[in-house]
Amino acid sequence: MTWHLFGNILTNYGTAANNRGENEGNITTLQKILWQGEVHTTVSAEAIRWALRYYWQTCGDHQVNRQWDDDKNDNIWQNAAFDDKLYIDDDVLGFMRADAAKAEASDSQETETGDKKKKKAAPKGTTTAKRGVLEVTRAVSTIPYAGDVTFNATSGQKGRTSLYGTEVHATRYQYGFSLTPDRLKDKSRIQAVLDGLISIGGVAGNHSRFLYDFSPDSIVLRWTNDFSPRLLYCFTEDEGEISAPNLLRRIESEDIDPNELWIAGAILDTEVGKELEDKGVNAFKGIKAAVESLQQTIKRDLL
């Protein structure tokens, strides 16, 4: 029997801006997608994974292969050959290195007797790779992007003034994740994944001038033998009110066993939250308390 961990996270409300420093002309843009017929801002799964790795690096409890160096402003590999037994990020997030062929193929050449030498086969490059065990969806804003832009000016040399603008979105983001501990070299690292996902801070809209808190304001976790998550993007927002009607529908239709769910945070203060509690989910006011409870269950089931 294989266990799977699924989750859907709703962040705190904040102002996202300068996501990854992309720009169009003198406007620094946010990434966007068409979501349910309207334009929403979005944050890549890779940005979330980077923030998780940085949390592991800075918390000091785990060895991380790909480390961020503030002085060099770059990622530094500790072991270019990778080691998923030693390094948590190699095990959980996977890796890939593609090496080009070291020699070029030679053309056929004619000898002095008129014979042609056999053409050497073209050498092949090599790839060292491991698929990441932790899968993360792209984060999507809970409300559409209205097109807010702030305009600023900075003075340059010889009295020149540069004008620039920054797209800003006041919103929450939600994203989901999946992890099957049997695929890890060290199954206990599932605990570190949970610790990290509820503790990461800066992910979206970060620049030296901006901060966006990406820690959960509400969270839904599912520990199950079911192969499918059935809860991704379950949060909705309407005029500032958070809800999760699709999650409730899944429970009522018996697609999800409520005993498999750990739900915490602001969602429990809503009408749908009270209905979820009545259905028998594991409900907690605090995010950390919910995760600690689930971690005990995981530890018991993986023994």
With beta carbons less than 8 A apart as the criterion, state whether 165 and 27 touch. Answer: yes
Higher pLDDT, 101 or 270: 270
Higher pLDDT, 20 or 55: 55
Q: Which residues contact 158 (CB under 8 A, 6 or more apart)?
A: none
Q: What is the pLDDT of residues 221-265, one digit of tens each?
A: 999 999 999 999 999 999 999 999 999 999 999 999 999 999 999
In the predicted model, is pLDDT for residue 19 greater than 90? no
Mean pLDDT across the stretch 123-129? Answer: 73
Question: b/e map of 274-283 (b: 16 or more CB within 10 Å)?
Answer: ebbeebebbb
Q: What is the pLDDT of residues 73-121, one digit of tens each?
A: 888 999 988 999 999 999 999 988 777 766 655 555 555 565 656 556 6
In the predicted model, is pLDDT for residue 65 greater than 90? yes
Specify the amino acid at residue 131: R
Q: What are phi and psi of 299, to 5 degrees?
A: -60, -40
Alpha-carbon distance of 12 to 77, in angstroms, equals 32
pLDDT of residue 66: 93
In the chain, pLDDT over 70 holds for what percent of residues? 85
Mean pLDDT across the stretch 23-30? Answer: 74
Mean pLDDT across the stretch 124-152? Answer: 89
- Averaged confidence pLDDT in the chain: 88
Alpha-carbon distance of 127 to 96, in angstroms, equals 7
Cα dihedral: 72, 74, 79, 81 (round 10): -140
Query: How long is the chain?
Result: 303
In the predicted model, is pLDDT for residue 147 greater than 70? yes
Out of 93-97, 155-159, 177-181, 234-238, least confident range: 155-159
pLDDT of residue 253: 97
In the predicted model, is pLDDT for residue 154 greater than 80? no
Q: What is the pLDDT of residues 276-298, one digit of tens each?
A: 999 999 999 999 999 999 999 99
**Reported confidence tier of residue 122, pLDDT bands at 50, 70, 90:** low
Nearest to 88 by CA among 188, 221, 155, 11: 188
**Reported confidence tier of residue 166, pLDDT bands at 50, 70, 90:** confident
Mean pLDDT across the stretch 35-64? Answer: 94
Reported in sequence order, the residue ranges of the chain that DSSP labels E, i.e. its strands, are: 4-11, 14-17, 23-24, 27-28, 32-35, 38-43, 66-69, 74-77, 95-99, 126-130, 135-136, 139-141, 149-155, 161-171, 173-179, 216-224, 236-238, 241-243, 261-265, 282-284
Q: What is the pTM of this model?
A: 0.86
